Structure 1
């Protein structure tokens, strides 16, 4: 069993061995069966709670003890367990007077599982759900974090500030890669299935910006350098923005030369860039940039969700640290989605080139030969 489940077992044993601890533990900690990870433990805790609510039961008297134990055993048997199983739990080597401390451990285990479950839900949604649904799920998770902070009598604002400061310090202490393409989430994106074809999208996007530099102003507010992960592409985008800022003429050779000031570009990379520019069509950059940012956002949120899960499952973070990291990370997820939503606003280029909308999911799920009624 995991440490969390051993803590649950210890609490149950303490309450079975010394029923005088039950009402005090419930009152001081507010522990509930819903916080137990093991279904059998949760069932037994519910039986103990229900039995303790009988005001006629004197838990300071041995007859009251025996009545309570019989009630709990009967509930366990009714739920498919055995009396021997209850006796086995009660016989655990624990200190009954530590019931409150065991309950706090169960609280902490439930906190960790709850945070990880919400983060996993976000990670599962990001590759297939629309941004609005992901945003709603992040909001739900954030509200859960606030409730957990209240449970632990913690100030959410202080937790967020401390987690942000710790995270910023960690980032500052991390050695920075010399190339822009190695910054951000490049290493984390590799295993994600929805990143196929990213380099091709980046090439077409950059070529379209070279062909129609007016699109630079339309994307620069929400398309970041870190959205480019293929070698040399971030530097080319940086060169495009820099040339636009300086009101310099923009063409393929000039952009290529400016980019080579930041990173070494091979002859093969240069040839590929020039070839893409030669066949690029104006007006496509906005749509391609949206695709790239959507991919980046999905990868970022997936990685951040994994960060939350890693933090709470590592076992080294206190409840305050785990909640703080979760709240700060969820806030950054929302900021990433906000950038995606900014890019979805209609621009001047949208009226220049027709881009068919993505297929409706309901239409896609209809079999090709299915008959439809009028």
Structure 2
């Protein structure tokens, strides 16, 4: 957000974007504090990095460093203003004494300083949430990461923790759902590598169907090509019924599911599921990881759309972000189930063959038998 203290690196000054509303809130707050420094103790939790404008943040930090002036003396001279300016200039060389007077003139009501500070905190929350979204998108699409799934999940945890932190500082209010329309999810990448992995999964699962009942962590919607997901559903349906599984039975099941077309003939299906390599678990994990990364990328894009909509309040951003994370959390549970080591089964309990232990010795005589009454 440009202002007189910020350099502009463009060639045409007419192309400067207009200042955002938070720019005027920052000016109003700094003007209020320059006029009445004692209000620094009344504006609540605020730090220099909460300001979107670097020079404004440096000036705010200098106010906390320079001792507060005597209120009566402050109305008679500008010694405190000069000291604050001198302290802030090493961090923001563009600051001038005339800009401090501009800030003072930009404050409508010094007594509204707390409200201005709240606006700055809200905009900082929006910017920080956008940074989390950008990092999530970057980690989900970075092919150089040694363990992209772990990186994405760590970034997701950081995002969730930040949302929890925001919820403690910004109260809920009616109409908490964001009004930003939902954009369609980005198209799943259908590169040749992804398609090859899905073909190999179908072929190996057809050749080794015994473990399909243990692969419930993989769902048809995880496949990049819908047809492959539907064929996987045919395989799991056969396995669940305890039916025979081989290329011919898969073909028969696919016919009942209306998957055969002019572009996908019976011979194509037979060729697809007849060349197994490796194990189903291996290819299934790769497919699920690709689905996890794709969902994380979609969540990051959704959060970017939400934070770019200035109409959303912080609480609406919190609610919308948590809703977007719900789908990612579901895939995360399945991913953890797929990659966790199988629990070791307990050894079966055996009945003891030792003689039973004798009970404690009886210290009293047994009661006499009850006599039957006879006529």
TM class by shorter chain equals 0.7 to 0.9
Counterpart for residue 186 of structure 2: 188
Counterpart for residue 31 of structure 1: 46
Per the alignment, in what secondary structure is the counterpart of residue 267 of structure 1?
Answer: coil
Asked whether 1:265 is paired with 2:260, we answer yes
Contact 1:8 1:106 in 2 (8 A): yes
Question: Given the superposition, is the C-alpha separation of residues 236 and 213 from structure 1 closer, same or farther in structure 2, using an over 3 Å criterion?
Answer: same
Counterpart for residue 361 of structure 1: none
In 1, Cα distance between the equivalents of 2:38 and 2:269?
A: 73
Q: Which moved more, 1:119-128 or 1:301-310?
A: 119-128
- How many residues were matched structurally? 315
Question: Given the superposition, is the C-alpha separation of residues 313 and 299 from structure 1 closer, same or farther in structure 2, using an over 3 Å criterion?
Answer: same
In the TM superposition, residue 224 of structure 1 has moved relative to its aligned partner by 0.9
Offset from partner CA, 1:170-198 (integer Å, 9 cap, x none)? 99xx9xxxxxxxxxx9x5244x6x95522
Give the alignment's TM-score, normalised by structure 1: 0.73
Counterpart for residue 74 of structure 1: 86
Contact 2:32 2:109 in 1 (8 A): yes
Counterpart for residue 365 of structure 1: none
Instruction: Give the number of the structure whose alpha-carbon radius of gyration is greater.
Output: 2
Asked whether 1:199 is paired with 2:217, we answer no
Contact 1:76 1:86 in 2 (8 A): no
Offset from partner CA, 1:183-223 (integer Å, 9 cap, x none)? xx9x5244x6x95522222122112111221131232x210
Counterpart for residue 366 of structure 1: none
In the TM superposition, residue 68 of structure 1 has moved relative to its aligned partner by 2.4
In 2, Cα distance between the equivalents of 1:11 and 1:146?
A: 27
In 2, Cα distance between the equivalents of 1:25 and 1:256?
A: 75
Question: Given the superposition, is the C-alpha separation of residues 67 and 198 from structure 1 closer, same or farther in structure 2, using an over 3 Å criterion?
Answer: same
In structure 2, runs of 5+ residues without a counterpart are: 1-18, 343-375
Q: Which moved more, 1:97-106 or 1:73-82?
A: 73-82
Offset from partner CA, 1:299-340 (integer Å, 9 cap, x none)? 001111222222122122211121233345446534433322
Asked whether 1:2 is paired with 2:16, we answer no
Contact 2:27 2:107 in 1 (8 A): no
In the TM superposition, residue 46 of structure 1 has moved relative to its aligned partner by 1.0
From 134, 148, 151, the equivalent of 2:166 is 148
Question: Given the superposition, is the C-alpha separation of residues 285 and 321 from structure 1 closer, same or farther in structure 2, using an over 3 Å criterion?
Answer: same
Counterpart for residue 280 of structure 1: 276
Offset from partner CA, 1:98-129 (integer Å, 9 cap, x none)? 32221111011011111121222222223435
Asked whether 1:304 is paired with 2:316, we answer no
Question: Given the superposition, is the C-alpha separation of residues 269 and 345 from structure 1 closer, same or farther in structure 2, using an over 3 Å criterion?
Answer: farther
Asked whether 1:139 is paired with 2:157, we answer yes
In 1, Cα distance between the equivalents of 2:258 and 2:114?
A: 60
Asked whether 1:96 is paired with 2:92, we answer no
In 2, Cα distance between the equivalents of 1:286 and 1:124?
A: 28
From 73, 98, 119, the equivalent of 2:133 is 119
In 1, Cα distance between the equivalents of 2:249 and 2:77?
A: 87
Offset from partner CA, 1:215-264 (integer Å, 9 cap, x none)? 31232x21011101314112111111112222222222332342344454
Per the alignment, in what secondary structure is the counterpart of residue 126 of structure 1?
Answer: helix
In 2, Cα distance between the equivalents of 1:247 and 1:7?
A: 68
In 1, Cα distance between the equivalents of 2:112 and 2:191?
A: 51
Per the alignment, in what secondary structure is the counterpart of residue 186 of structure 2?
Answer: helix
Offset from partner CA, 1:244-285 (integer Å, 9 cap, x none)? 22222222233234234445432332333211222224x522
Question: Given the superposition, is the C-alpha separation of residues 9 and 260 from structure 1 closer, same or farther in structure 2, using an over 3 Å criterion?
Answer: farther
Contact 2:206 2:273 in 1 (8 A): yes
Contact 1:116 1:309 in 2 (8 A): yes
In 1, Cα distance between the equivalents of 2:21 and 2:260?
A: 53
Per the alignment, in what secondary structure is the counterpart of residue 338 of structure 1?
Answer: helix
Give the alignment's TM-score, normalised by structure 2: 0.73
In 1, Cα distance between the equivalents of 2:319 and 2:146?
A: 26
Counterpart for residue 42 of structure 1: 57
Counterpart for residue 179 of structure 1: none
In 1, Cα distance between the equivalents of 2:42 and 2:281?
A: 59
Question: Given the superposition, is the C-alpha separation of residues 50 and 234 from structure 1 closer, same or farther in structure 2, using an over 3 Å criterion?
Answer: same
In 2, Cα distance between the equivalents of 1:297 and 1:243?
A: 26
From 285, 291, 294, the equivalent of 2:286 is 291
